[in-house]
Amino acid sequence: MIKTKKLIKTTLYSLLSIFFLEIFSELNYLFETIFAKGNKLELAKCADLSKEENVIALDNKLEQKNRETWEKKSHTTTCYIKGYKNTPIFCKIYHQNKFTNKWVIIMHGYGGYGSTMTYAAQKFYLKGYNVIVPDLRAHGKSGGKYIGLGYLDSFDLSNIIDLVVKGNQNAEITLFGVSMGASTIIQTSARKHIKNIKALISDCSFDSATNIISYEIKHNFNLPAFPIICFLKLFCKLKAKYNLSLSSPIKEVANIKVPTLFIHGSKDSLVPTDIVYSLYKNANCKKDLLIVDNAGHGISALVNSKLYWSTVFNFLSNL
């Protein structure tokens, strides 16, 4: 009888160990899928972004030759700068032929890379700006094993700003970001109070990394956000070496001192449109808001290009 109880107890412990190891393995896989550097196409399939993909594909088809011709004519250089903890950050720089103090730094979104922002780089370049387009850490040609969700990226961006100002003390820098790139510029500007940052253009930023990941787990993975998000935060601390809770534009936006234009698509299902109203409300700076009708996530500039860019450059010209 004692041997039987011992056998049952040992068996239960073994089964529980296997069960928890399996859960741990699955949660680790989920963390690596979301945070690790690499192709995010499979992850994107979990969210219904087919409409956004169709809009981007059509824009590429219509504008590809125009943009290729522009790139060949523009004066460009590439370099690596030292990001946070010496992570190499790849940057492409479009220089104006004539000297100018006007600069824009363009930050792409989660899973993208700098060249996906050519549509924005071209617009600013033709308006007389020097343009810097980085690959965010753990994206494209940049280093880093894990994605920074706007938090680590904000320190990388700070380093880029410092280099621009070092080379041109009178630089007037506009920060332009889409999605995670928008969260990056908000968090950077909230901490980086230097006179050279003149304005922010924040397109479809999330409110906090914790909230948006919880939202995606629930709505796109069909899993309970709690307690999964707790384990992801733990993995983030242990493996990516940062506190995910610190990536929180909603907590930082009140500290922004420069004029900010908030943009969002009315049909954004990835980062719900309600989020932009919270960011706008909490901002204490000079501000404006543009909601682009029928635009999904990150494609407002493609859905209504005329309205989008006229609003952006009118905002900047009136500062």
For residue 167, being part of any structural domain is answered with yes
Q: Which of 248, 245, 292, 249 is nearest to 273 (CA)?
A: 292
Q: Tell me, yes or no, whether 254 lies in a domain.
A: yes
Query: Which residues span the domain enclosing 90?
Result: 39-208+247-317
C-alpha to C-alpha distance for 183 and 110, rounded to whole angstroms: 10
Helix, strand or coil, per DSSP, at residue 296: coil
In a domain, 124, yes or no: yes
CATH of the domain at 159: 3.40.50.1820
Report the domain count for the chain.
Answer: 1
Task: Tell me if 164 is assigned to some domain.
Answer: yes
| Cβ atoms of 300 and 270 closer than 8 Å | no
Q: What residues pair up with 107 in beta bridges, in sequence order?
A: 177
Q: What is the pLDDT of residue 6?
A: 57
What's the length of the chain? Answer: 319
Closest among 261, 271, 264, 266 to 315, alpha carbons compared:
261
Q: What is the mean pLDDT of each run of 10 residues along the chain (319 residues)?
A: 54 49 81 90 71 85 90 93 97 96 98 95 97 98 97 97 96 98 97 89 98 91 88 95 97 96 96 97 98 96 97 97
Q: How many C-alpha atoms does 300 have within 13 Å on its Cβ side?
A: 30
Residue 10 forms part of a structural domain:
no
Please check whether residue 236 lies inside any domain of the structure: no
Confidence (pLDDT) at 15: 46
Residue with tokens 């992570």: 87
Tell me, yes or no, whether 220 lies in a domain. Answer: no
The count of other CB atoms within 10 Å of the CB of residue 230 is: 12
Structural domain includes residue 138: yes
pLDDT value of residue 17: 53
Residue 87 main-chain phi, psi, to 5 deg: -65, 125
